[in-house]
Amino acid sequence: MASQVMRLSEAPQGKQLRIVDIVGGHGLRRRLMALGFHKDDLIERNSDALFGGPILIKNLNCDTSVALGRGVAQKILVEVLDGQA
């Protein structure tokens, strides 16, 4: 079913992803949680800004979009869901 765990910054675009863990410090985890990102949430990487800019993440659970810097995206671990649920 679920495939290997990777960083969100390396995850493919347009596929359903599941948040496995957030490995940042407390400040980052708190902030992401407040923005509605939790462990086990389903998300999708929608767009990338050019030149190493931020990536656009849509949280499919609560239907919010958030722009995340690459540094932040590196600290979110996800896995690709194969079957489109």
Partner 1 sequence: MARHEGPVIVFIGQPNSGKSTLFNAIAGPKAQTANFPGTTVSHTHSEVYFNGRVLRIVDLPGTYSLNPADPAEKAALVHLFKEAPDLIVNVVDASLLSRSLELTLELLETEQPMLLALNMVDLAEKKGIKIDREKLEVILGIPVVMTVANRGRGVKELLSRCVENLKNGSSPRAPSWTEEVEQVVDSLAKDIPENFCLVANRRFTAIKLIEAGDTFCHEILEEISQPLKKRVEETRHRLESLRHLPAYEVLAAERHHLAMKIFEAVAKVQRGRKVSAEEKLDSLLMHPILGYPLLLVIFFLFFFLIFFIGSPLEQLLLLPWTWLQSWVRGLSLSPLFLTLIDGLLQGLGGGIAIVLPYFLPLLFLMAFLEDLGYLARAGFLLDSLMHRIGLHGKSVAPFVLGFGCNVPAVVSTRILESPRDRFLTSLLIPFIPCSARTTVILALIAFFLGPWWAMGFYFFQLLIVALVGRLLTFFIREPSPGLMLEIPSLKWPSPKIILSKVSYQLRSFVQFAWPILIAGSLVLSLLQLAGVDVWINRALTPLVKGILGLPETLGVTLVFGFLRKELSLLMLLQALGVDYAQLPEVLSRTQLVVFTAFISLFIPCLSTVAIIWREISRKAALFSMLLNLVVATLVASLVRLIL
User: Considering the rule CB under 8 A, would residue 29 count as an interface residue with partner 1?
Assistant: yes
Min. distance of Cβ 16 from partner 1 in angstroms?
14
User: Considering the rule CB under 8 A, would residue 16 count as an interface residue with partner 1?
Assistant: no
Residues in CB range of 70: below 8 A, 6 or more apart: 9, 52, 53, 54, 55
Residues in CB range of 3: below 8 A, 6 or more apart: 79, 80, 82
User: Considering the rule CB under 8 A, would residue 35 count as an interface residue with partner 1?
Assistant: yes
Q: Which spans of this chain sit near partner 1 (rule: CB under 8 A)?
A: 26-36, 38, 46-54, 56, 59, 61-72
